[in-house]
Amino acid sequence: MARTIIEPFRIKSVEPIRWTTREEREQLLRAAHYNLFLLPADDVLIDLLTDSGTGAMSTHQWAAIMEGDESYAGSRSFDRFRNSVQDIFGYRHVIPTHQGRAAERILFSVMCKKGDIVPNNTHFDTTRANVEFVGAEAVDLVIEEGKHPSVVHPFKGNMDVGALETVINRVGRERIPLVMLTVTNNSGGGQPVSMENVRAVSAVCRKNRIPLYFDACRFAENAYFIKLREKGYESKTPKQIAQEMFSYGDGCTMSAKKDGMANIGGFLCTNDELLAQQEKNLLILTEGYPTYGGLAGRDLEAVAVGVQEALHEDYLRYRIHSTAYLGNHIAEHGVPIVQPPGGHAIYLDARAFLPHIPPDQFPGVALAAELYLEGGIRSVEIGTLMFGAAAKMDLVRLAIPRRVYTQSHIDYVVEVILEVWKKREQIQGLRLSYEAPFLRHFTARLEPVGVPITPTLASS
C-alpha cells in the first residue's frame, strides 16, 4: 500500500491562527464590503489569498540570514546569491531586484519599444502591464487545451508553436524583441510547460534570431511536473531538469517570492553583455547598486538558499501532491475545478459552481465570500471583478503558501468547500457599490443583490 506523503519537515516555530465565530465573520465581511482584500489578515483563519512571499523559511535560510553582508558594494552575500542562481539557471549575468515586476520593468524598458510585440504562453498580469507600459503589445499564445478549464492535458501551459511562427511571419522578427515562456503558467491555472515544448519554442526563436526569456517564478514546480509526466525525465533530478530547461533560453525574470522560497526578492538574468550593462544602469537609477538591487544582504542570502531548497525532491513531492490532494478531494464530490490541479493553487470554476448567478453579479466574489463566512478561509476571485466584461471565466483561486499549512489544514479546507457546495443554491450574487478607475478588484465594495441599495455607498 502506498504510504501517506507527509510534510518533509518538522515545526520549530509556530504562528497562532485565530478563530472567529460565524456572527463575527458576518460582521467582518460586511465591514469589508464583501471584498476579502479589505479584511484584516488577523481575522482570517487559513489564508490562501496568494502563494507569493507567504512561504515559511527553513532553518538553513534563517541561519544564512544571520550571515548577511550588508556592504553597499561587493557584498559577500551577492556572491553567494549569484553563484547559487548561476548553478541552476546558468546565465552569465545575474541582476538582483526587489521582486519580479522590477525585473520585468527593467527587461522590457531595455528591450522593447512602441509597436513591438512580445509573445508569451500567457502573460502574468504584471508582465502584461509592464510590456504595455513601454508601448509594446503582449500576445498570449497558449495551446487550445489551456483555454478550457475541464480539459485534462499533462502540459496545459504549453505555447502553440504554430501560432508563434504565424505571428513571427506576419509581423516580422524585427518587431519581436523577445519571446517569453512562463513556467508554470500562472494565469493559465499553474499549468506546466513540457521540455519538448521549450525545445520547440527555442528552435523557432533561434531560427529567427529572437531571444527567448523565461518568466521563471515557478520553475521548480514546472521541473517536477516534467519529471512526473514527460518521457525520458523520470530518473533526472529536478535540478538537472531545470538546468536543461534554462539552457534553451537566453535569460529570465524571477520573483523569489514564489520558488525562491523567500518573503521578498527577485532577479533578472541575461547572457547578453550589452543588455546587462543597460539593465544595470537602469537598476542603479531606480532599484540600487548591482550587488544588492533593492534588497538587503540578508534577503540575498535567503534567496540563495531558497532556490536550491525549492528543487529538493521530497519538498516538491509534498508540494505537488498536497495541492492535488485538495483538488482531487473536492472534485470527487462534484465540485468543478480547473483540471488537472496545478502546482501552486486550485481554481474553483465559480460559473459552474453557482450557475444561478450571472457573471455580472460576480459569482467568484460571492463564492469567495461564502468560503470565508463558512470557515474563515480567504481566497481570491479571478474573473469579472478583476477583468470586467473581458473575463472569459469566473474562478476562485486557492493558492497554497509554501511549507505553511499541514494536511489537517487542507482537510479542513476540503470540509469547508464541501459544506458550501451543499448550500450553493442559497448563495446570492453581488453588485458593486464602489469601484476605482483601474485595478478595481483591490478596493471594490460590494453588497448582496437582495439588499436594497444603500444611497450613500451607491453614490460614493
Binding region for ligand PLP (CB under 6 A): 52, 99-101, 124, 126-127, 182, 186, 215, 217, 255, 257-258, 266
Task: Name which of 109 and 237 has its Cβ closer to ligand PLP.
Answer: 109
Task: Name which of 61 and 433 has its Cβ closer to ligand PLP.
Answer: 61
* 3-state DSSP helix/strand/coil % of the chain, to nearest 5: 45, 15, 40
Burial 184-196 (b: 16+ CB within 10 A, else e): bbbbbbbbbbbbe
Task: Name which of 217 and 377 has its Cβ closer to ligand PLP.
Answer: 217
Of 116, 317, 87, 306, residue with least CA distance to 217 = 306
Q: Which three cell numbers stand for residue 178?
A: 523577445
For ligand PLP, the nearest residue by Cβ is 100
Task: Name which of 354 and 398 has its Cβ closer to ligand PLP.
Answer: 398
What is the Cα 157 distance to its own chain's centre? 13
Decide: 22 and 373 in contact? Cβ < 8 Å: yes
Of 440, 325, 429, 415, residue with least CA distance to 367 = 429
Find the shortest distance in angstroms from Cβ 186 to ligand PLP.
Answer: 4
Q: Which residue has the cell 507600459?
A: 133
Find the shortest distance in angstroms from Cβ 129 to ligand PLP.
Answer: 10
Find the shortest distance in angstroms from Cβ 99 to ligand PLP.
Answer: 3
Task: Name which of 143 and 254 has its Cβ closer to ligand PLP.
Answer: 254
Find the shortest distance in angstroms from Cβ 136 to ligand PLP.
Answer: 16
Task: Name which of 149 and 190 has its Cβ closer to ligand PLP.
Answer: 190
Bridge partners (DSSP) listed for residue 182: 215
Of 100, 132, 127, 102, residue with least CA distance to 117 = 132
Q: Which three cell numbers stand for residue 238?
A: 529536478
Task: Name which of 238 and 260 has its Cβ closer to ligand PLP.
Answer: 260
Find the shortest distance in angstroms from Cβ 178 to ligand PLP.
Answer: 15
- Of the chain, the end-to-end C-alpha distance in Å amounts to 61
Find the shortest distance in angstroms from Cβ 351 to ligand PLP.
Answer: 24
Distance CA 208, CA 72 (A): 41
Find the shortest distance in angstroms from Cβ 232 to ligand PLP.
Answer: 26
Query: Maximum Cα–Cα distance for the chain, whole Å?
Result: 64
What is the Cα 146 distance to its own chain's centre? 16
Q: Which one-letter amino acid corresponds to residue 42?
A: D
Indicate the length of the chain as a whole number.
Answer: 460
Of 421, 53, 438, residue with least CA distance to 255 = 53
Distance CA 1, CA 237 (A): 25
Task: Name which of 242 and 432 has its Cβ closer to ligand PLP.
Answer: 242
Find the shortest distance in angstroms from Cβ 400 to ligand PLP.
Answer: 14
Find the shortest distance in angstroms from Cβ 266 to ligand PLP.
Answer: 5
Find the shortest distance in angstroms from Cβ 131 to ligand PLP.
Answer: 12
Find the shortest distance in angstroms from Cβ 55 to ligand PLP.
Answer: 13
Distance CA 68, CA 87 (A): 20
Task: Name which of 100 and 192 has its Cβ closer to ligand PLP.
Answer: 100
What is the Cα 298 distance to its own chain's centre? 24
Task: Name which of 183 and 446 has its Cβ closer to ligand PLP.
Answer: 183
Distance CA 450, CA 55 (A): 39
Distance CA 29, CA 26 (A): 5
Task: Name which of 268 and 304 has its Cβ closer to ligand PLP.
Answer: 268
- The DSSP 8-state label assigned to residue 453 in this structure reads P
Distance CA 272, CA 252 (A): 12
